[in-house]
Amino acid sequence: MIDWKTCAVSDSFINNKVGRKNQIPAKDIAQVGRFPVVDQGQEFIAGYCDDENKVIDFDLPLIIFGDHTRCFKFVDFPFVLGADGTKVLLPNKKLFDPRFYFFALLALELPSRGYNRHFKILKERSLPLPPLSEQKKIAHILSTVQWAIEAQERIIQTTTELKKALMHKLFTEGLRNEPQKQTEIGLVPESWEVVELGKVINLFAGYAFKSAEGVPVSSTQLLRMGNLYQNTLDLNRSPIYYPDSFADVHKRFVLNEGDLVMSLTGTSGKEDYGFTVRIPKTDKSLLLNQRVTRIDITNHRLRKDFAHYFLLSRKFLDYLYPTSKGMKQANLSTNAMKKLQVVLPCEAEQSEIAACFKSLEKKVVVARRKVAVLQDIFRTLLHELMAAKTRVSALKLKNFQ
């Protein structure tokens, strides 16, 4: 940044017309409505509002800063402002291109003060001030990568929604366009059997392993209900390790690639339990903890992959959740679960249905990998360009889609 000037953040923005009349408290934010609400939260859109008198359709684009969360948001469309902990910045356009200004703010390192306010710290920072022509070029490059990330995130969202809709359709109508019959779990194709879960599946309970405080990182890790968050396996959530000898001593509770496991406990009143995950290939030995159950298929007529997807479907979960008990925590009973109903099409149809869901999952996996790569590219470019370590003239834009 040898030939660039700098500008204090406190001198980088000008007064705007946004006031309390444009704000809405969190309790009044609705799930649907005419106008999006932007607040300081991690989600770009917090909800919606119907009050057109609160709409901010002037001074755009604006930068929203989360005074507590340190989040920055670039808003170039009419919106309503969340009232809690939001600061609205209108960049001085004589000095800054608005998008460059947003990216320059993103590049700042603001230390966390917990839920205390951070705007004072922000105002003490300085921003690079290259010529406006170069600002626009930098903003274009970073925007190109950001738009590519957003495109992949839309693929993930729409594919996930399609999977949910397809689950409802296929577990209700099947693939053969045959007549339906009414059962305890609603309409299903006429040829499908509906049997008790306990007749085709065994629920193998985990073990109450003792505390392993002080044990260093090893290749033997406890698989707990928190690791199965939202039907995904996350071994980095508060990991607990054991000596590798535990895997030999407790062989019955060591999980293998392809095993199905389900969390049995969650917070009362929330559907954060009943998550089902298939164990992927891993170099760790995973020990099955209490309140997690392994789902073993005991009838060869039921395919494991088909059973996995059925256990994820609303057709099953809508009957599963009401069986939970507990005031402070929602607990599932394996005995109660065994009495729930599971559908049993012919093996060929099970295979075809599972293949449909696998195809969608593969699409999501590919999109998530692209997002991870693009985010790395964005972070590197943001740092390099804002520090003038890489100049715009040295870059060649690629097709990031």
**pLDDT value of position 1:** 47
Token pair belonging to 239: 């990991």
| Range with top average pLDDT, 187-191, 211-215, 270-274 | 187-191
Distances (CA, A) of 93 to 58, 90, 99, 271: 15, 9, 10, 47
Distance CA 103, CA 127 (A): 10
Can you list the domains of the chain with their CATH numbers?
Answer: 5-129 (3.90.220.20), 193-344 (3.90.220.20)
Beta bridge pairs of residue 241: 221
pLDDT by residue (tens digit) across 364-380?
A: 999 999 999 999 999 99
**pLDDT value of position 93:** 95
- Comparing CA positions, the residue from 260, 214, 211 lying closest to residue 233 is 260
395 or 172: which leads in pLDDT: 172
Burial-class residue 345 by CB neighbours within 10 Å (0-12, 13-18, 19+).
Answer: buried
| Range with top average pLDDT, 216-220, 233-237, 256-260 | 256-260
Q: To the nearest whole number, what is the mean pLDDT of the chain? A: 91
The secondary element (H helix, E strand) that includes residue 391 is none
Peptide bond before 239: cis, by omega within 30 degrees of 0? Answer: no
Three-state secondary structure call for residue 126: strand
Q: pLDDT > 90: what percent of the chain?
A: 77
Residue 85 reports pLDDT greater than 50: yes
Residue 396 reports pLDDT greater than 70: no
Residue 393 reports pLDDT greater than 70: no
**pLDDT value of position 84:** 82
Sheet with strand 220-223: strands edge to edge: 241-242, 220-223, 285-288, 254-255
Distances (CA, A) of 389 to 96, 127, 134, 355: 20, 15, 14, 48
- pLDDT confidence tier of residue 268, bands split at 50, 70 and 90: low
Beta bridge pairs of residue 63: 74, 89
Residue pointed to by tokens 């049997």? 195
Inter-residue contact 331 to 187 (CB < 8 Å) = no
pLDDT by residue (tens digit) across 145-181?
A: 999 999 999 999 999 999 999 999 999 999 999 999 9
pTM of the model as a whole: 0.84
